[in-house]
Amino acid sequence: MPITKTIIAAGFAVLLGSVTTFSASAVAQDSGARKVEQYTCKDIMRESGSTRDTAIAFLHGFLLGKSGSDGFDLEALTKQTDAFIDHCLDNPAQKAMDAMMKVKS
């Protein structure tokens, strides 16, 4: 099921408006400090609904911030999100950030 532009835009609004925890279930499993680089595709794909949408939007926003840019194209993000999901389903052990960087290149 493709993620709509509205979901991505809402995800960015949440990211820009507040500090977002990456995944509620991951925090519940391990209360220690985590790094974005620790999450695998499997971790993201285990989530469902808005939790997965938020995690994917977080990755988009994290990499956007890391690049020093503040501009984005919703159509491109939608295509990248679909490609990310497909890639992660095929490569569950890959680090989620690496997978997102791959589909963005």
Domain 5-104, CATH among 1.20.58.1910, 3.40.50.2300, 3.40.1160.10, 1.10.890.10: 1.10.890.10
Q: How far apart, in Å, are the Cα atoms of 52 and each of 23, 55, 58, 68, 71?
A: 8, 5, 10, 25, 23
Q: How many helices (H) and strands (E) does the chain have?
A: 6, 0
Give the per-residue pLDDT at 74.
Answer: 93
| One-letter amino acid of 45 | M
- Which residues touch 8 (CB under 8 Å, ≥6 apart)? 53, 57, 60, 74, 77, 78, 81
- CB of 61 closer than 8 Å to CB of 12: yes
Where are the domains positioned within the chain?
A: 5-104
Q: What are phi and psi of 2, to 5 degrees?
A: -70, 150
- CB of 104 closer than 8 Å to CB of 63: yes
Give the per-residue pLDDT at 17.
Answer: 40
3-class secondary-structure state, position 95: strand
Give the per-residue pLDDT at 67.
Answer: 92
pLDDT means per 10 residues, the chain with 105 residues, are 52 44 47 86 95 95 92 94 97 97 95
